[in-house]
Amino acid sequence: MTCEKAFEVIEIELGFMYDLLYTKANLIHSRLGSVCRYVSLSYTFAAFVVFLMIDQSPYSTIDKGITLLLLIGAIVLEIYAVIVLLSSDWSKLWLSKHKNRFVDLVSKFNLHLQSCFGLCFLLPLNKRWSNFVAQYNLMSHCIKRKSTKGSGIKDFINKMLEQHWYKNLEPVPMDLKEKIFEQLKNASSMSDIRVSKQLFACSDDDDHEKKKCFVNLAQSMEVVDFDKSILLWHIATDLCYYIDQDNDSETVKKLIHMSKLLSNYLAHLLVKCPYMLPSGIGQIRFQDTCAEAMEVIEEREYISDEHKACEVLFKENTEIPPSQIKGDRSKSVLFDACILAQSLQFLKRQNNWDTKQKWETISNVWVELLSCAASQCRWVGVIERYFKPC
C-alpha cells in the first residue's frame, strides 16, 4: 500500500468513527433515513406543483413571488442534500458492495444531478482535514515581544492577541507524509516504537567528548519529561536551521522544512493545546525558557531577528552545566538546548556527517516525537476542553 493510499484509508476510517460518534449518519444512511429523505423531497415537489396549479389571483404579486422563491429554495436544498448523501463515504461503501443494475442507475442519477444543477463545487471535498497544521515558534515569540514591549496597557493588549498573533498555518507536504509512513512502518516491526536508542547509540569509541555528546542526545529523548524533549529539540532545531539555511541541496532543504514544520507544530501543541500531550509541566518550562531567552535578547540591543538571536545562543559557553548554575530555581531548558545543538554540530564534524545526514537525524527525531505525542494523547483532556459544562 502506498503512503497516499494509506493516509486516504486512515482518513476515511476516522471519518466513519467521527460520523458514528458525533453525527446522525447512522440514522441518515439507514432505511428509515432513506424513506424520510424520499418523503421530504416528494412533499416539497408536491407543494411546488400544487402552488402552480391553484388559482393565485386573490394573492398579491409580492406574496406569490416570496412563496415561489421559498419553494424553489427548498427544492434546491433537498436536491443538494440528496447529492451529498449519495456522494458520502457511506454511500460509496454501500454501492461498492452491491454491484447491480440498480446501483449503476443510482450512480448515473447522482452524476446527472450534479451536472444538471451545477452543485459539484459545493460538495464538501475537504471535510476531513484541511491538510494544514498550526505553527508556533518560541524565538519568533520572544523577538516580537521585544519589539512590541511598551506600556502596561500595550503589554496587556499584546498578551490578549498573542494566541493568534504568533500562530500561523502551513500545508503538510507529501514528502513529510511519506517519511512519517515509512518510519512508523519500520517502527511497527520493533518491540518498542521508540528509535532513540538506534539514533543515538553510543559506539565503542574512546573519544570522551563524542560519548558525552551521545549521552546528551539520548537523554534529550527521555519520555519521562516529554514536554522537555519537545522544547529542547524545538530550540535546537532553530539553532541548527540558522547554521544550515543557506545550503543549496534540495534534499537538505526538504529535510529542514519537514523538521521545522513538525518542530513548530509540536511547540504549538505544547503551548496552546497542552491537553493533547502527556501530563507534565510544559507551561512552566515554556514560561521559564521564554523568560531566560528574553533576558539574553534584551541584554543585547543589536539582536533584532531570530537569526541573530540563534547565532548568539549557539555561541554561548556551555562548559558548565546549566543545572549547576541555576539549580532548581528555573525549569528553563534554553541552555540545555544550546548544548544539544552544539552536540549535533560536534558529531557532524567528528563522524564526518554531511548536512543531509544531520538533518535526517533531526527529522527522524521529530517524527518519533510526533508518534509518541499521538500515542499518548490524553483523550480525557480533549473532552474536558470541548465539553466542559458552563
pLDDT of residue 69: 93
b (16+ CB within 10 A) / e for 48-71: beeeeeeeeeeeeeeeeeeeeeeb
Higher-scoring residue by pLDDT: 122, 134: 134
Say yes or no to pLDDT of 27 above 90: no
For the segment 109-116, the average pLDDT, to the nearest whole number, is 62
16-21 long-range contacts (CB < 8 A, ≥24 apart) are 16/89, 16/90, 19/90
Query: Which of 47-51, 88-92, 303-307, 313-317 is the most confident on average?
Result: 47-51
pLDDT of residue 88: 74
pLDDT of residue 195: 45
Q: Return d(Cα 159, Cα 141) in angstroms, integer.
A: 11
pLDDT digits 0-9 by tens, 328-342: 677 889 988 998 898
134: three-class secondary structure by DSSP: strand
pLDDT digits 0-9 by tens, 51-79: 888 888 888 889 889 999 999 999 988 88
Query: Which of 74-78, 127-131, 275-279 is the most confident on average?
Result: 74-78
Confidence bin at 362 (pLDDT 50/70/90):
very high
Confidence bin at 349 (pLDDT 50/70/90):
confident
Lowest mean pLDDT among 36-45, 218-227, 278-287: 218-227
Confidence bin at 363 (pLDDT 50/70/90):
very high
Higher-scoring residue by pLDDT: 243, 323: 243
Output the average pLDDT for the chain: 77
Q: Where are the domains of the chain?
A: 3-122, 132-387
Q: Which amino acid is at 274?
A: P
Say yes or no to pLDDT of 389 above 90: no
* C-alpha distances out from residue 137 to 227, 237, 241, 262, 312, Å: 15, 11, 13, 11, 17
pLDDT digits 0-9 by tens, 203-234: 455 555 555 555 556 566 655 578 899 999 99
pLDDT of residue 344: 86
pTM attached to this predicted model? 0.71
